[in-house]
Amino acid sequence: MDEYLTVMVYSVTVIAFAFLAYIVSRLLRPEKLEKEKYTTYECGEEPITPAWYQYSLQYYMYAILFVIFDVEILFLYPWALQMKNTEIFVAGMIFLFIVFVGLVYEWSKGILEWQKT
């Protein structure tokens, strides 16, 4: 029970410190919002493009797919370390097959093909 108390005290301390740092920063910051704050910073030069540029949604799709497949690779690391018997090998192959089917499905739907907008 003493171990749980230590974890709880540590958790409450971390949350309280984060909350306190947030409150202090809100109290000490200047309230005046300037027009220059919302422009791009180009080393003292006049901005050429607007500060808020909207990216194509295709970049987000590639980022999401990268994160998904990257996390799936993380699941393969413990599998590779424990590949000593047939059951673990079969489970890993089933997982890889499901990942491959997902990749083929995304490819067939045209998600991986770049389209000019």
Report if residue 77 sits inside a domain. yes
Q: How many domains does the chain have?
A: 1
Q: Is the pLDDT of residue 117 over 60?
A: no
pLDDT band at 47 (very low <50, low <70, confident <90, very high): low
Q: Which residues contact 40 (CB under 8 A, 6 or more apart)?
A: 47, 49, 50, 51
Which of left, alpha, beta for 110 (phi over 0: left; psi -120 to 50: alpha)?
left
Domain that holds residue 72: 2-108
Tell whether the model's pLDDT for residue 42 goes beyond 80: no
Model pLDDT, residue 45 = 65
In a domain, 116, yes or no: no
Predicted pLDDT at 43: 67
Q: What is the pLDDT of residue 39?
A: 63
Residue 20 inside a domain? The answer is yes
Does residue 55 form part of some domain? yes
Is residue 117 included in any domain, yes or no?
A: no
**pLDDT score of 111:** 78
In a domain, 60, yes or no: yes
Q: Tell if the pTM clears 0.85, that is, is over it.
A: no
Residue 49 lies in a domain: yes
pLDDT tens readout for residues 65-98:
888 888 888 888 888 887 778 888 888 889 889 9
State pLDDT tens for residues 17-31: 999 999 999 898 877
Sorted by sequence, the CB contacts under 8 Å of residue 72 that are 6+ apart come out as 95, 99
Q: Is there a domain that residue 115 lies in? A: no
What's the CATH code of the domain at 81? 1.20.58
Highest mean pLDDT (candidates 56-60, 82-86, 99-103): 99-103
